Amino acid sequence: MTIDCPMSGHGREACVSLQVEGADAYDEGWRQHVTILRPQRNEPWGARTFDLIDPSGNTVFVIGPPA
């Protein structure tokens, strides 16, 4: 887990990066409970990611291996 310094455009201006073994499973499990800010995508730098907003208004950037 990485906690970034305040960043404009990230909810309450805090962003947490969470590295997981499978982004798809987290997306499926959390989709009904949180706001998905940016849907899943394979990044050109070799990861599968998505962003969500937690109940406190912060951004969580989920990073997993590419699908």
Q: Is 2-64 CATH 3.10.180.10?
A: yes
Residue 56 reports pLDDT greater than 80: no
pLDDT at res. 10: 54
27-48 residue pLDDT tens = 999 999 998 999 999 999 999 9
Cβ atoms of 9 and 52 closer than 8 Å? no
Segments making up each domain of the chain, as ranges: 2-64
* Averaged pLDDT score across all residues of the chain: 84
